[in-house]
Structure 1
Amino acid sequence: MNGAPAAIRDRGPILSGQDLHLWNEGRHLRAYRVLGAHLATVGGQAGVAFAVWAPNADAVSVVGDWNGWVPDRDPLSREGGSGIWAGFVPGLGQGTVYKFHVRSRLHGYAVDKADPFGFRHETPPSTASVVWDLDYSWSDSEWMRTRSARNALDAPISIYEVHLGSWRRDPAEPRRFLSYREIAPLLAEHAVAMGFTHVELLPVMEHPFYGSWGYQVTGFFAPSSRYGAPQDLMFLVDTLHQAGVGVILDFVPAHFPSDQHGLGYFDGTHLFEHADRRQGHHPDWKSEIFNYGRHEVRSFLESAAMFWLDAYHADGLRVDAVASMLYLDYSRKAGEWIPNAYGGRENLDAIAFLRAMNEDVYREYPDVQTYAEESTSWPMVSRPLYVGGLGFGLKWDMGWMHDTLRYLGHDPIHRKYHHNELTFRTMYAGSENFVLPLSHDEVVHEKGSLLGKMAGDDRAKFANLRLLYAWMFVQAGKKLLFMGGELAQGREWNHEQSLDWHLLADERHAGVSAFVKDLNRLYRAMPALHARDCAPGGFEWIDCGDAENAVVSLLRRGGEADPPLVAVFNFTPVLRADYRIGVPFGGFWREVLNGDAREYGGSGAGNWGGVDAEDLPWHGRPASVPLTLPPLAAVFLARADGGSRSW
């Protein structure tokens, strides 16, 4: 299967009246097929067809090595009143380095701009675009055929979040990035070994500043050349798919950097961004905000979203900084923002764009998911458009993350006073389709590592970290863990260094890694832990009121025929014998996971493989089990005859 649409390769004039109409209307979902630079044959001559949107330009030409970077030697022509300039330059081919020289009709402004639709750009700090095709022979047909079930809301989705530049580097050359192709087999092997179902890549779109981790994008249609060519990223996605691992790409339509070669002030006017800095400039990131009310900007952004699904077989898009898009007063003081037409703080144009993007993505690709990083209580982010929602498939649960990390940072002797930080999530857990994120944002900017956030001495920190992971996996919602979390890395993430893989030689770190692996396997094996992640009835408290002992117990359920799972958490370092909890039926309950097991670095306390239920009603259940609760540990139980014998 070829990754590039046929319309991209070897053709004549590329812009039709329909293209121009859809572009100006804001409904061109695949403008990348006609704008930018495309290998073409016109009048029997091979060359490159160029097209760029610059409605306020007085003249646009293409410059590069072949013409000495001299403006006007290869001019483009206006395409009616569309604002698009287009032309064909014979004799050029793949690998040609180029920019658009834009001379504004205003202020005498002239500038060389990278191609907004370029498929490849030079490796930073160089900033020109590179003519490139998207030919690639895919080998992931089996994955593509079955991914609807793998991405479904009732499927196990456990996401490994990765920054490619710092996941792993060459030990002999620690400053050198591994390429997409070098990373591919290593990442696939690790994701499979750890049991993750999906990998999420921090933005791979081209960005001039490496330290932005990809969140300051200039090339919305180009993977970063730091790691190789477009086909090399396709190889990485292909390799993960063949290994049975999905790929989610971070997508950043919230803002873009102000670098001169980028989108800002493109034709001598604020073309992609708002002219008024109260709407067009982001105070936190010192970047420019898209003008979502402009039709052509919507065509540009929707085409970018569709592009990564079309050409790179992405299985989902995680949309960054959604909250900053929704609110006009985001990070702004009174007088620093402009209300909407109704006097409110909601960004109506951004809302319309997000709803349209989600509608179009799910219409074209019903087998993928869109994920919103939305940090406020905006209602119905992951609900359908027809009930007034934003239309995302899932939303990050930032509240759960903050509450849980805060709770596990308390000394256990004080945890009884903060019990609500564990239980509050129940009040809203069914309001959205949630992902539980332990992401890169929690281990940067002097926040320390996840291990470092845990209370207690060295041994207690590792035990609390295992509690954190067990608590995440037993909650209703999909899972996300940033790279290094599975190693119990002790230092804060540094994008200039590889992860500390040598830590796995230490049995404490190896124990946490083994624990994450077993949590993933159990999560995938038991429908009780995933089938109702986003549906009612999947989570029940057995007892959430024992704040004095800092103990909670709960039940997870799948379908009617699926065996339930009981989970009990002891958030203190006190071993509790004969702690009784109610269970839904009698028989032998097998201990399928014990966070205090020696192979995980624990003390080995537990229930000797399981316990027989007694016909003694407890907690409103018809039977009960007396348990030994290990210190600072979780215990998971499942009926031995309930389909969980493999555990």
Structure 2
Amino acid sequence: MATVIAHSLFSEFDINLFKSGKHFRLYEKFGSHPLKLDGELGTYFAVWAPGAKQVSVVGDFNHWQDGEHQLQVRWDGSGIWEGFIPKLSKGSLYKYKIHSNHNNIITEKADPYARYCEHPPNTASVIWEDDYTWKDKSWLKKRKKHNALNAPFSVYEVHLASWKKKIEEDRSLTYVELADELVSYVKEMGFTHVELMPIMEYPYNPSWGYQITGYFAPTARFGNPEEFKFLVDELHQNDIGIILDWVPSHFPEDRHGLGYFDGTHLYEHPDPKKGYHPDWKSLIFNYNRNEVRAFLISNALFWLEQFHIDGLRVDAVASIIYLDYSRDEGEWEPNKFGENKNLEAISFLEELNKEIYASFPDVQSIAEESTAFPGVSKPVFMGGLGFGMKWMMGWMHDTLQYFSKEPIYRKYHHNDISFSLTYVFTENFMLPLSHDEVVYGKRSILGRMPGDEWQRFANLRLLYAYMFMHPGAKLLFQGCEFGQSEEWDYQNSLDWHLLEYAPHKGIMELIKNLNKLYRKEPALYEKQFVQEGFEWIDYDDAENSVLSFIRKGDKAEDKLIIVCNLTPTAHHNYKIGVPKAGKLREIFNSDHKKFYGTGDYKNATITTTDEPWHSQKYSADLKLPPLALVAFNYIV
């Protein structure tokens, strides 16, 4: 047997924290760590496998031979196997060969804490040593201001493999190429943040990254970890924040992954009613096991600390917190109170968010949670789950359903478009038009719009304008910003050639202008999560399918008047109530010619009248373009 030298990075304090589920920097201890021991260079390995009777490191350095480099189990009952192998350095491939105490099962696993992995479909872990020098100090100093709840928050959601491809080479862009092309594009479009669909290593392309095997490794599909850091650095140096999709809800059954790791249910819950996801054919983490909770929380903090990530969007929260999620009667068991809530999972999420904000108070954690579970974005000390924001799935569903209707029928569904304002301030909501809305036969967002070509694009412009004027943060999936015609295809590039056509170019110009307006007008962001930032003028004009409301900033003079005309019928003298006397100036019109609108209904400066209207003391007569939104401010 080759030499494995006894060595440990764990103190007794580390072990006690790990066992109690309170060690949240486990990546500093577990995994493979190149270091010098007694003057000799090599690599230290540590892996958690309490069900094992033997653990060996196998790799390209020992011809993948079992037993050549056996690790030693710690004496303290922690289940940690560890040791130092001389002469091993950055770039070597390895796995753990684990002989289980359970039915003599032998598994060969990738390192759960590996910092780098082989390019799929290969599955080995790679010894990696970090030597990246960051240049984003300026961003980190001001990040709190950019990530605040009273700051503009406009997110561009991206799937790196399909955003843009090198067609002639039939490949996706690398991290380094994205640091040029994606960064410059996002900056030009005016988005404040990008959100990347999961970039942690995953084996199966059609999972889009949501079934992870390498939780601590950026996927090798686009480059190495330093190159991913370079992409993050470039975003920050251009004042763009970066959010990562993070998946603590489930993991795949791939043989090299976390499932049945040491021949036992180590990471997954042993009861299939809690440990197996019927929809995704995947395994569910055991949130009741201390070491698993520490693994997950350590992973969240790892990306925030080591990669300077500005936020985590937590996937499928509803599937975590409900015992009966996607299960029929008899396929789940109630908790001790007879309810369908997973108390251990809820406790995990609360602890996760407390640790995130304690360590990184200037980041955001964002929940993709599709139910009416209360207090998702309320602090834990107030009885909430502790997230900073929550996706507003109800707004997305109602709005897309409304806009898919022919305008002639919209007056019968007027409540669908205004209903979101009855509950928008119960959470810190982000309005998502995400990848989930443009797959599986749902069509593209443009593809849902009714009418002839002009009306379809006018409807899309109106939808986006309404989204940006509605309270809440914003999220738009790649391709939506120029009116992608077809559904998203993860295997192919976006249809960038569409920008040769005026209607699509008009949509892009609209999004640029909306992002610019959102950043410029305090009334659109300073109070985007509180009731004081919004006031209806009239939500009841179903006959004309017109909505009008006021958005407000911190200062009394920061007020915007917003009017949406949701049919193709133009109005030349549409009276609305306004809060004070003065002159109104049109600052946005989605029917502008540069957006491929008619350009025929621009409002000149409007002087208010003393005639009370809509419960307001004053009123104004406006031109309302067809299928358009217009916004006004007061001339000071």
Q: TM-score, normalised by structure 1?
A: 0.96
Q: Contact 2:183 / 2:238 at 8 angstroms: preserved in 1?
A: yes
Q: Contact 1:29 / 1:303 at 8 angstroms: preserved in 2?
A: yes
Q: Which amino acid aligns with 2:93?
A: V
Kindly state the Cα deviation for residue 191 of structure 1 after the two structures are TM-superposed: 0.8
Kindly state the Cα deviation for residue 133 of structure 1 after the two structures are TM-superposed: 1.5
* 1:192 is aligned to 2:164: no
Per-residue CA distance 1:65-102 (angstroms, 9 max, x = gap)? 11111111111011121010000100000001000000
Per-residue CA distance 1:156-200 (angstroms, 9 max, x = gap)? 000000000000111322x31211011111111111111100000
Kindly state the Cα deviation for residue 204 of structure 1 after the two structures are TM-superposed: 0.4
Question: For residues 56-135 of structure 1, what are the structure 2 equivalents within 5 Å?
Answer: 56-80=51-75, 81-135=77-131
Q: Contact 2:603 / 2:623 at 8 angstroms: preserved in 1?
A: no
Q: Contact 1:452 / 1:490 at 8 angstroms: preserved in 2?
A: yes
Q: Which residue of 2 aligns with 1:336?
A: 331
CA distance in 2, matches of 1:522, 1:273: 47
* 1:307 is aligned to 2:332: no
Q: Which residue of 2 aligns with 1:492?
A: 487
Q: Which residue of 2 aligns with 1:275?
A: 270
- From 451, 456, 464, the equivalent of 2:451 is 456
Per-residue CA distance 1:422-455 (angstroms, 9 max, x = gap)? 1111221110000000000000111110000111
CA distance in 1, matches of 2:454, 2:11: 67
Kindly state the Cα deviation for residue 536 of structure 1 after the two structures are TM-superposed: 2.5
- From 237, 240, 260, the equivalent of 1:265 is 260
Kindly state the Cα deviation for residue 562 of structure 1 after the two structures are TM-superposed: 4.4
- From 427, 431, 437, the equivalent of 2:432 is 437
Q: Which residue of 2 aligns with 1:294?
A: 289
CA distance in 2, matches of 1:163, 1:640: 42
CA distance in 1, matches of 2:49, 2:101: 11
Q: Contact 1:607 / 1:627 at 8 angstroms: preserved in 2?
A: no
- From 627, 633, 636, the equivalent of 2:631 is 636
Per-residue CA distance 1:113-133 (angstroms, 9 max, x = gap)? 000000000011000000001
Q: Which residue of 2 aligns with 1:154?
A: 150
CA distance in 2, matches of 1:609, 1:56: 76
Question: For residues 116-265 of structure 1, what are the structure 2 equivalents within 5 Å?
Answer: 116-173=112-169, 175-265=170-260
CA distance in 1, matches of 2:118, 2:204: 13
Q: Contact 2:7 / 2:84 at 8 angstroms: preserved in 1?
A: no
Bigger mean CA offset, 614-623 vs 61-70: 614-623
CA distance in 1, matches of 2:635, 2:119: 57
* 1:520 is aligned to 2:499: no
CA distance in 2, matches of 1:138, 1:44: 29
Q: Which amino acid aligns with 2:158?
A: V
Per-residue CA distance 1:466-511 (angstroms, 9 max, x = gap)? 1110111111100000010111000000011111111111110000
Kindly state the Cα deviation for residue 458 of structure 1 after the two structures are TM-superposed: 1.3
Q: Which residue of 2 aligns with 1:324?
A: 319
Kindly state the Cα deviation for residue 621 of structure 1 after the two structures are TM-superposed: 1.6
Number of residues paired by the alignment?
630
Q: Contact 1:37 / 1:49 at 8 angstroms: preserved in 2?
A: yes
Q: Which residue of 2 aligns with 1:466?
A: 461
Question: For residues 394-413 of structure 1, what are the structure 2 equivalents within 5 Å?
Answer: 394-413=389-408
CA distance in 1, matches of 2:134, 2:352: 26
Question: For residues 339-378 of structure 1, what are the structure 2 equivalents within 5 Å?
Answer: 339-378=334-373
Q: Contact 1:103 / 1:109 at 8 angstroms: preserved in 2?
A: yes
> Identity of paired residues, percent?
52
Q: Which amino acid aligns with 1:503?
A: L
Distance 1:525 1:344, change over 3 A: same
CA distance in 2, matches of 1:279, 1:362: 28
Q: Which amino acid aligns with 1:285?
A: W
Q: Which amino acid aligns with 1:162?
A: V
Per-residue CA distance 1:580-628 (angstroms, 9 max, x = gap)? 1111122221110111111101111223443221222211222211011
Question: What SS does structure 2 have at the residue aligned with 1:99?
Answer: strand
Q: Which amino acid aligns with 2:353?
A: N
Q: Which residue of 1 aligns with 2:3?
A: none
Kindly state the Cα deviation for residue 106 of structure 1 after the two structures are TM-superposed: 1.3
Kindly state the Cα deviation for residue 256 of structure 1 after the two structures are TM-superposed: 0.1
CA distance in 1, matches of 2:615, 2:415: 22
- From 470, 474, 478, the equivalent of 1:475 is 470
CA distance in 2, matches of 1:189, 1:361: 30
Per-residue CA distance 1:265-308 (angstroms, 9 max, x = gap)? 00010110012211111000000000000000001000000000
CA distance in 2, matches of 1:371, 1:486: 22
Q: Contact 1:124 / 1:226 at 8 angstroms: preserved in 2?
A: yes
Q: Which amino acid aligns with 2:147?
A: N
Q: Contact 1:13 / 1:42 at 8 angstroms: preserved in 2?
A: no
Q: Which residue of 2 aligns with 1:583?
A: 578
Kindly state the Cα deviation for residue 561 of structure 1 after the two structures are TM-superposed: 4.3
Q: Which amino acid aligns with 2:512?
A: K
CA distance in 2, matches of 1:427, 1:156: 22
Q: Which residue of 2 aligns with 1:602?
A: 597
CA distance in 2, matches of 1:111, 1:269: 10
Question: What SS does structure 2 have at the residue aligned with 1:430?
Answer: helix
Q: Which amino acid aligns with 1:144?
A: L
Q: Which amino acid aligns with 2:14?
A: D
Q: Contact 1:527 / 1:562 at 8 angstroms: preserved in 2?
A: no
Question: What SS does structure 2 have at the residue aligned with 1:370?
Answer: strand
Per-residue CA distance 1:293-331 (angstroms, 9 max, x = gap)? 000000100000000001000000000000000100100
Q: Which amino acid aligns with 2:535?
A: E
Question: What SS does structure 1 have at the residue aligned with 2:531?
Answer: coil
CA distance in 1, matches of 2:534, 2:547: 13
Q: Contact 1:546 / 1:552 at 8 angstroms: preserved in 2?
A: yes
Q: Which residue of 2 aligns with 1:4?
A: none
Q: Contact 1:617 / 1:623 at 8 angstroms: preserved in 2?
A: yes
Ranges in structure 2 where 5+ consecutive residues have no aligned partner = 1-5
Question: What SS does structure 1 have at the residue aligned with 2:425?
Answer: coil
Q: Contact 1:100 / 1:113 at 8 angstroms: preserved in 2?
A: yes
Kindly state the Cα deviation for residue 352 of structure 1 after the two structures are TM-superposed: 0.5
- From 582, 606, 613, the equivalent of 1:611 is 606
Question: What SS does structure 2 have at the residue aligned with 1:41?
Answer: strand
Ranges in structure 1 where 5+ consecutive residues have no aligned partner = 1-10, 642-647
